[in-house]
Structure 1
């Protein structure tokens, strides 16, 4: 029995009959390669989204937090409110542009932002949104020293933040 590689080599020399087993194997191998590539692309998108989320946390901690030791629950609430509302300025700008032009110009960007914000709100309402452990000083120091690389992400200590953990009644407050 020939392997798929041998069949592909022979197919370059002479194409197999469309109804043959060789043609079916080639078609199956091509579909499998496409499926694996799609899976790899999805994984890369998830990693990129997680890195950008962690990078936002790090930038916000560097910018806003002066003394990391005196972090309160109210500070944590404000921190995650800012995170969930980080696209508000861009959304307002898009809506103003649409009103001026009287048509939708950036519908895909608007849809992507709305889907992301909805997903994050659902996460914080249910199982929790992953974020830094704001009450652990040592882990915050590691967050501030993080170089932004995927390989060094496992050493970052995270916590699942929910509306219950933040003592917020509902996502309406966020």
Structure 2
């Protein structure tokens, strides 16, 4: 039986009959290509979100942590609380803008931020949110020297941070 590549080549010369097996095979191949492209885009979005999250962690560690060896649980709580509230200024500004213009804005960016925050809160409440192992000095040195590339991400040591690991009673305390 001919492969889809051969069928596509022949279809350029002469179109197959709409009800033929060749036409069905071409339609199936086209649907499969679209599905694979969609899957590729979804994977790229997940990787970009992970890189963005890791860059935030890196920037915050560079900015706030002078002495990496003396890190306590209270510091870890503060670190992840700040991470979960990183969009608060932007959300408040959007709400104020909506109130002054006396309209309701339902932008995709606002929806994306809310979805991301709810997902992260759900993760930290259940299985855990990936983050740097703040109690391992060598791991933090790797985080600080990370170049921001996807290819070098596997050498970063992460830890699943949950509410129990941070000694927080509920997600509403964050």
Tell me the TM-score range normalised by the shorter chain.
over 0.9
Q: Deviations over 1:105-161 (max 9, x none)?
A: 452111110000000000000000000000000000000000000000000000000
Q: Which residue of 1 aligns with 2:131?
A: 131
Q: Which residue of 2 aligns with 1:99?
A: 99
CA distance in 2, matches of 1:165, 1:62: 23
Superposed, which structure 2 residues align to 1:43-54 within 5 Å? Answer: 43-54=43-54
CA distance in 2, matches of 1:33, 1:58: 37
Q: Which residue of 1 aligns with 2:55?
A: 55
Q: Which residue of 2 aligns with 1:115?
A: 115
Query: Is the CA contact (8 Å cut-off) linking 1:94 and 1:106 kept in structure 2?
Result: no
Report deviation, 1:162.
Answer: 0.1
* Structure 2 unaligned regions, length at least 5: none
Superposed, which structure 2 residues align to 1:3-152 within 5 Å? Answer: 3-105=3-105, 107-152=107-152
| TM-score of the two chains, using structure 1 as the length reference | 0.98
SS at match of 2:171: coil
Report deviation, 1:14.
Answer: 1.1
Superposed structure 1 runs of 4+ greater than 4 Å apart: none
Report deviation, 1:102.
Answer: 1.6
CA distance in 2, matches of 1:30, 1:15: 15
What is the root-mean-square deviation of aligned Cα atoms in Å? 0.7
CA distance in 2, matches of 1:125, 1:105: 30
Residues 1:156 and 2:156 are matched in the alignment: yes
* Structure 1 unaligned regions, length at least 5: none
